[in-house]
Amino acid sequence: MALIQADLIPGRGDQLLSLDSSSGLEWLNLTVTANRSYIEVLSGFGGFIGTFGFQYATPRQVATLYKHAGVTKFGGPQAGLDLANHFGIEVLQDLMNGKSMGPVSFPQSTSVDTAGMVKTGGVGIPSPLMPVEIMQTHLNKAEPEKAYTDVGALTQKAGDRSPRIGSYLVRKGRVVRSPAMGSKRVRKG
């Protein structure tokens, strides 16, 4: 298993993708869609859904990404020190370049959170008032035992914007064969 940073636009050095080599999925960096509503992104903001071939991830896909990053605890704060969980969340946050909620509001804070919207249930186009499910990671660098993930941690409607929340967007990579690297799933520009 490996999570690898890559460029959204090959050769630009933007590092806006995280490739999960176990699932073959490519994940867009959360900061790209921060402060954009679920509806704005679904309607074509930045061409990510459509031009670039991304779609909203399901909660199950995000949970798999978390597991592949090394996250071991799900569902909110839990008792006990689990350094693997702490480091898994740290790896994931570094790769996805999630928004930091703590230091913005509290400069002395050692907490870093990421939050991303995921695919809503139901059929059809969501209304601006439809609730949107949020998946969040929380990391406290001073207290590793307080690292956790959570679903539905923040109240958000499909039409709301927040600079602290991005969208979990995902796409399948294509298999490219090369003698030097064997078979590897990557997205060719």
In tens digits, the chain (189 residues) has pLDDT values of 578 888 998 899 888 999 999 999 999 999 899 999 999 999 999 999 999 999 999 989 999 999 999 998 888 888 877 888 888 998 888 887 654 544 444 445 567 778 888 887 766 677 888 888 888 888 887 888 888 888 776 678 899 998 888 999 999 985 433 344 443 444 444
Q: How far apart are CA 82 and CA 1, in angstroms?
A: 20
pLDDT score, position 19:
92
pLDDT score, position 53:
95
The pair of structure tokens assigned to 89 is 């969340």
Which of 55, 44, 69 has its CA nearest to residue 119? Answer: 55
Count of the separate structural domains present in the chain: 1
The pair of structure tokens assigned to 183 is 């078979």
Give Cβ neighbours of residue 88 (< 8 Å, ≥ 6 apart). Answer: 66, 69, 70, 71, 72
Number of Cβ within a 10 Å radius of residue 143: 12
The pair of structure tokens assigned to 140 is 């406290």
The pair of structure tokens assigned to 167 is 């969208």
The pair of structure tokens assigned to 6 is 């890559």
pLDDT score, position 2:
79
pLDDT score, position 179:
40
Domain that holds residue 37: 3-186
pLDDT score, position 37:
94
- Residue 117, H or E segment: strand 111-117
